[in-house]
Amino acid sequence: MRNPRKISVLLLSGVLFFTIACSVKKNQTLVETKAALSKEERMKWWEEARFGMFIHWGIYSVPAGFYKGEAQTNSAEWIMNKGKIPIAEYEKFADEFNPTKFDANEFVALAKEAGMKYMVITAKHHDGFSMFDSKATDYNVVDATPFKRDVLKELAKACKEQDIKFGFYYSQAQDWHHPGGMGNTWDDSLKRMSSDDYVYEKALPEVEQLLTEYGPISIFWWDTPRKMTKEVVDSLYHITSALQPGIITNDRLGEDYPGDHKTFERKLPSEKPEDTYWEICQPISGSWGYRSDDDNFKSVETLIHNLIDASSKGGNYLLNVSPTHEGTLRTEATTRLKTVGAWMKKNNESIYKTQASPCEEASDWGKITMKQDGDDTTLYLHVYHWNDGAKLPVKLKNEVVSSYLLTDATRVFKTNTSEDGISVIISGEAPDSIASVVVLKIKGTPNAIPRKPIGQDKKGNIDLVAKRAQFQNLQGPGAEYNQSKDHIDHWTSDQARVYWKFTVEKPGTFTVEIEVANQKASELSVSLHGETKHIKIPASGSYNSFQPLQLGTFHIDKPGAYELSLMPVSEGWNPMNIKSINLISK
């Protein structure tokens, strides 16, 4: 007998795609105009913007991190999961969600004052509650709350009026409220159905609505890919590009869908990522969603330095804020955003429309951003530690045109050039206590003194240090470099890959050795030169107790560039820290 639910889902998907086709035809001019855009053309505004606002907001702002009087772990938006709150109980928070103090125009104006150029808000997080007037479910901000207003429509309108690009976050796989959504393992009242059914019944119709009823959408920010079928992920991918061909998407739709830019969460990469386009998202405090006990706000200095750091590596900074159940931000957040904005008002030339530093090696005095205009190049030296008479080394072999203070062009600085590069000699008092910007104009394109690549030593061995690692986090925070401890830290996600690029001049057979610390046994997939091995990693006892282990032997048959990749084996994965990887020539 044919499955009636499957038939209804197929009929629903057919109707949905007919609706999509009509929507596309209705907006044919828009589609034809944007369809011709290359990725570089679509990414142009995003790459120039450098700074955006992330907003995590939902009915989880009502309990604000507490359930039955007890603080729950993790960020506020995970309270349903961490507290194992039954659906029937969690739904009651919607009855108390009435953010009458929310003003979309003020919210967007604050983002603009901070110097932000785009905004992304949670349309639906893992809890399944839709923060817009969803046609796919009554479990939304208009139908289920006393507020009765479409938050996203108000923000979309305000962003358009104030010239801020607008976009949506959407949790496509996890939905703890829907019987087909992934992630709810605690509520036995759910009458389970397939995740495909969930996508066709809820996720796909909601995405279609968001992309047709809210004006031009610049960004669609997917989150937490799970083991969804290729058919449903394809459906989500194609509907996004069909309805808004000029849209930008991140890399969290699924493992085989890289999106337009790479996503880092919470921790800035220590090295410039290889990807042309990347973004770091980070909460202004400890939690993504509002917690009443969250006082862990980052300092203004940290926020400005993070923005500069991301820009100096060619990336964007998406800074998250968390409105309360009243619809406002805490004073600690608004004050910080305004102070960052005051710095940006004077120094934004050194952030907007800039490229990554041409110097590969980091400087202990600060960070560099760059602009190129024909045969001339302008460097912006962001000086964190200003001392009268100090020399700022810039590892470039170029002729200097001029050097002066960004905020006062009459304040000129002397420079010296040598085989070691350029030195800028700063003088006087620091004009800014957090980051003073010195302009350095040079002739021609940057001629950087190259950083020594990772290669073999005299014995033919290769040392892959933690600082030079690259990371690919497919969902959430996964692995990061801890500068103070000089090791790879917080490798918590089984969807995070750690890898190194290096060169081999003397081919041969190499034994791969690792220094690893972990509380529980784990399993790693090690890949090098087309060969992959699954290796059991015994527990060392603690995350600070490093033990040396061999990961097997690999043969490299010719000179060239290579990559060694470490990827968790999901079924046997537990968190670990890594100090180094060594390839020992046999």
Edge to edge, what strands does the sheet with 219-223 contain? 248-249, 219-223, 165-171, 118-124, 51-55, 316-321, 278-283, 262-265
Residues 195 and 338 in one domain: yes
Give the pair of three-digit tokens for residue 480.
Answer: 């990061």
Would residue 355 count as lying in a domain? Answer: no
CB atoms within 10 A of CB 548: 12
Q: Which of 304, 325, 350 is the last residue of a domain?
A: 350
Host domain of residue 567: 462-585
Would residue 356 count as lying in a domain? Answer: no
Report the pLDDT value the prediction gives residue 570, as an integer from 0 to 100. 81
Residues 315 and 411 in one domain: no
Would residue 449 count as lying in a domain? Answer: no
Report the pLDDT value the prediction gives residue 364, as an integer from 0 to 100. 87
Question: What CATH code is carried by the domain that includes residue 389?
Answer: 2.60.40.1180
Question: What CATH code is carried by the domain that includes residue 211?
Answer: 3.20.20.80
pLDDT (tens digit, 0 to 9) for every residue of the chain, 586 residues total?
333 343 344 444 444 544 444 444 444 434 444 456 899 999 999 999 999 999 999 999 999 999 999 999 999 999 999 999 999 999 999 999 999 999 999 999 999 999 999 999 999 999 999 999 999 999 999 999 999 999 999 999 999 999 999 999 999 999 999 999 999 999 999 999 999 999 999 999 999 999 999 999 999 999 988 889 999 999 999 999 899 989 999 999 987 899 999 999 998 988 898 899 999 999 999 999 999 999 999 999 999 999 999 999 999 999 999 999 999 999 999 999 999 999 999 999 999 999 999 997 768 899 999 999 888 899 999 999 999 999 999 999 999 999 999 999 999 999 999 999 999 999 999 999 999 999 999 999 999 998 888 999 999 999 999 988 988 776 666 788 888 899 998 788 888 889 999 999 999 999 999 999 999 999 999 999 999 999 999 999 999 999 999 999 999 999 999 999 999 998 888 999 999 999 999 8
| Distance (Å, whole) CA 254 – CA 238 | 13
Residues 430 and 531 in one domain: no
Residues 430 and 487 in one domain: no
Residues 95 and 172 in one domain: yes
Report the pLDDT value the prediction gives residue 373, as an integer from 0 to 100. 83
Report the pLDDT value the prediction gives residue 27, as an integer from 0 to 100. 41
Report the pLDDT value the prediction gives residue 575, as an integer from 0 to 100. 92
Would residue 455 count as lying in a domain? Answer: no
Long-range contacts of 428-432 (CB under 8 A, 24+ apart): 428/388, 429/386, 429/388, 430/383, 430/386, 431/405, 431/407, 432/343, 432/346, 432/347, 432/407
Give one DSSP letter per residue of 539-578, joined into a string.
--SSTT--EEEEEEEEEE-S-EEEEEEEEE-GGG---EEE
Residues 253 and 387 in one domain: no
Would residue 525 count as lying in a domain? Answer: yes
Residues 393 and 504 in one domain: no
Residues 423 and 500 in one domain: no
Residues 327 and 370 in one domain: no
Closest CA to 231 of 187, 197, 208: 197
Residues 51 and 105 in one domain: yes
pTM, rounded to two decimals: 0.86
Would residue 210 count as lying in a domain? Answer: yes
Three-class DSSP category at 414: strand
CA 170-172-174 angle, 5° bins: 110
| Distance (Å, whole) CA 567 – CA 551 | 13
Residues 430 and 507 in one domain: no
Q: Which of 443, 472, 497 is the last residue of a domain?
A: 443
Would residue 448 count as lying in a domain? Answer: no
Residues 76 and 26 in one domain: yes
Question: What CATH code is carried by the domain that includes residue 515?
Answer: 2.60.120.260
| Distance (Å, whole) CA 104 – CA 283 | 20
Report the pLDDT value the prediction gives residue 104, as an integer from 0 to 100. 98
Q: Which of 321, 350, 379 is the last residue of a domain?
A: 350
Containing 531, the helix (H) or strand (E) segment is: strand 531-537
Would residue 391 count as lying in a domain? Answer: yes
Q: Number of structural domains, the chain?
A: 3
The string of pLDDT tens digits covering residues 477-534 is 678 888 889 999 878 888 888 999 999 999 999 999 999 999 999 999 999 999 999 9
DSSP lists the bridge partners of residue 415 as: 424
